[in-house]
Amino acid sequence: MHELSMADAIVKTVIEAAEKNDAIEVLEVTIEVGQMTLLNPEQIKFMVGVLSEDTILEGAKFHMEEVPIEIDCECGYKGKIGADDLDHYTPVLNCPECDERNFDIIAGRECNVKNIKIEKRDEDA
């Protein structure tokens, strides 16, 4: 259940950024989760909700964006690798161009807190 440690790190990251920007409330949070991670976005969403209770994050809307796997293959192919229906079987995939596995994964392993939408006092008002 490492979604819990992820959720905890997400909540801490968001609160830190929100406080730095003088937020009085966090309205929305966007998180990118790579297809290659063994994370379940729905579980993260649930746990972030629980951990947000009694913080300025409580009630915020969480958007989970799935990041497709992208590879940089020795054969020269650089781009996405179709793994939509394969879930955790993604590591058995081969390069769509040369059918080998001599590639670096350049996207799809992230759990990225992308941005937040906050409400803050308008100093100029």
Give, to the nearest 10 degrees, the angle between helix 3-20 and helix 41-51: 50
Nearer to another protein, 39 or 95 (CB): 39
Query: Cβ-count burial of 81 within 10 angstroms (0-12 exposed, 13-18 middle, 19+ buried)?
Result: buried
Q: Is 87 in the site for another protein (CB under 8 A)?
A: no
Choices 10-18, 47-55, 56-64, 72-80 (CB under 8 A): range interacting with another protein: 10-18
Q: Pick from 53, 85, 89, 99 the residue near another protein by CB under 8 A.
A: 89
The reply to whether 37 sits near another protein by the rule CB under 8 A is: yes
| CB contact burial 41-56 (16+ within 10 A = b; e otherwise) | beebbebbbebbeeeb
Give residues in contact with another protein (CB under 8 A): 1-2, 4-6, 9-10, 13-14, 17-18, 21, 23-24, 27, 34, 37-39, 88-92, 101, 109-122, 125
